[in-house]
Amino acid sequence: MLKDCYKYASAINAKGQPFLIEPLLMALLFLQDKMIDWLTKQISKHESNNNNKEVKESKQKEEEELGRENIRDYIRKNGGRIHYIDDY
């Protein structure tokens, strides 16, 4: 972060007076804040990608566990009775 502050050293020194430490500290704090914001966005993207993968995997597991009935609407339940499509 200090290296980023050196980019502005020529503008600071153009004034011809020594600069105080407060502007440097403020610049460091702002750079740190930008970095924290960027990291939180990266974490949220990573978590949302993981959540999407987990949801897809759980749906696939449910479909595998339930078998063909759940995928193709092979069995219909009406009033507690099970009707196969061939019965209609």
Q: What is the pLDDT of residues 42-51, one digit of tens each?
A: 888 877 777 7
How far apart are the C-alpha atoms of 60 and 71, rounded to whole Å?
10
How far apart are the C-alpha atoms of 46 and 31, rounded to whole Å?
23
Instruction: Report the predicted TM-score, pTM, of the whole model to 2 decimal places.
Output: 0.41
CA-to-CA dists, residue 85 to 9, 69, 72, 74, 82, angstroms? 79, 11, 11, 6, 10
Amino acid letter, residue 7: K
Q: What is the pLDDT of residues 30-63, one digit of tens each?
A: 889 999 999 999 888 877 777 777 667 776 666 5
